[in-house]
Amino acid sequence: MASNDFLVFIGAYTRREGLGIGVARFNSDTGELTTPELAVEITNPSFVALDPSLSHLYAVTEINDYEGNTSGALSSFDVDRSTGKLTFLNRQPTNGPGPCYVNIDSGGKNAVVANYNGGSVAVLPINADGSLEATSDFVQHVVGTGVNAERQAGPHPHSANLDLVTGRVYINDLGLDRIKSYELDSSTGKLSPAGLDVELHPGAGPRHFDFHPDGAHAYTINELDSTITAMDYDRAAGRLTPTQTVSALPDGWSGSSTTADLHISPGGRFIYGSNRGHDSIVIYAIDSATGQLEYVGHESTRGNNPRNFAIDPSGRYLLAANQDSDNIVVFERDSETGTLTATGTEVSVSMPVCLKLVPTV
């Protein structure tokens, strides 16, 4: 395996010219990114995930009506890691509308899906060949009302975050201003409440989430008020305790903006978040002892409405997907300062919103 050579699977909306999941090649020695090609046709694959073996890919179909039912869908594919070819296995309904996020457990036995529009979470067992069984569990979050009347009239799970060591599942619910916690039984595909929910500040709108590699801290990016919340993490107990909230926007900036994605750099020294409206990546340094955040700066994403982004495993490059300007831009990352510098490499693809890097074989 060439450790510096990656496939980049691109989840995208297909509301304009896009047809499905794209694939490109990325070299982490040179920063070269090839022009994406269509890997498979599928409607609105707005989020994709790989199983632990990297041999199967799962993609949501973010729609509200699947085969006449109020539901989206989840599809499974075999992955050829030498060519990037995806071979369709099967598709199952998620039993709730607007699925926007999927994650796979550590044994590759279950897919956990957040149904944003339906306010629900679904678990779909995975067969030995990578195909999906029908939903084994379904949890409807209780209807609540947040302070943002337009966006928080009810529950809206936006990400399903798994601690692969303990098997616990943490669901960022934008509509409830809560991180809901569950225990996942991998053998049965059943969720049970863990009783460890985190209530965030009103109007936060928690969206994406990342565990620190030290296993003692975690972070959530809050969409509605453009903030990042640092939390102490007691892994043994499963408890998250908020300790600090910082702005994802520059001081004094008053335009309209919401956050989207969040990632910690390899080694855990820096955290990055995307701003849609300000169209930037915010950078914070992470204190190795306390997990607290110290502002470093912002970098323009050279595009409009940046959604998901990815940091390559070496930590040298960051790839940002700009949904509304139809481009993916490559940045070089300074491992000592955390700052980003555009390399001049960018590629065109219709409405990219999710990037997953997979090493080639």
Altogether, the residues listed in the chain come to a count of 361
Q: Which pLDDT score, from 0 to 100, does residue 145 have?
A: 72
74-80 CB contacts, 8 Å cutoff, 24+ apart: 74/99, 74/102, 74/111, 74/113, 74/124, 74/132, 75/42, 75/45, 75/132, 76/126, 76/130, 76/131, 76/132, 77/40, 77/130, 78/130, 79/50, 79/54, 79/55, 79/358
Cα–Cα distance between 259 and 262 in angstroms, integer?
A: 9
Cα–Cα distance between 289 and 281 in angstroms, integer?
A: 24
Measured CA to CA in angstroms, residue 199 lies from 118, 157, 180, 206, 252 at distances of: 21, 14, 9, 10, 27
Q: Which pLDDT score, from 0 to 100, does residue 355 have?
A: 98
Cα–Cα distance between 304 and 282 in angstroms, integer?
A: 15
Which tokens is 87 given? Answer: 């071979």
User: In which region does residue 203 sit, left (phi positive, over 0), alpha (psi from -120 to 50) or beta (all else)?
Assistant: left
Q: Which pLDDT score, from 0 to 100, does residue 146 have?
A: 82
Tell the residue number behind the tokens 């169209």, with chain if given.
279
Q: Report angle CA 240, 238, 211 to the nearest 5 degrees.
A: 60
Indicate the helix (H) or strand (E) that contains 11: strand 5-12
Three-class SS of residue 149?
coil
Q: Which pLDDT score, from 0 to 100, does residue 331 have?
A: 98
Mean pLDDT of successive 10-residue segments in the chain (361 residues)?
A: 84 96 97 98 98 98 98 98 97 98 98 98 98 98 85 96 96 97 98 97 98 98 98 98 98 96 98 98 98 98 98 97 98 98 98 98 94
Three-class SS of residue 291?
coil
The answer for residues whose C-beta is within 8 angstroms of residue 59's C-beta and 6 or more apart is 11, 21, 42, 45, 47, 48, 74, 75, 77, 102
Are the C-beta atoms of residues 180 and 170 closer than 8 Å to each other? yes
Q: Which pLDDT score, from 0 to 100, does residue 3 have?
A: 74
Main-chain phi, psi angles of 290, to 5 degrees = -105, -20
Q: What DSSP designation does 131 have?
A: P
Q: Which pLDDT score, from 0 to 100, does residue 1 have?
A: 41
Tell the residue number behind the tokens 């060519």, with chain if given.
83
For 46-199, the fitting CATH number among 2.130.10.10, 1.10.1060.10, 1.20.140.10, 3.90.1150.10 is: 2.130.10.10
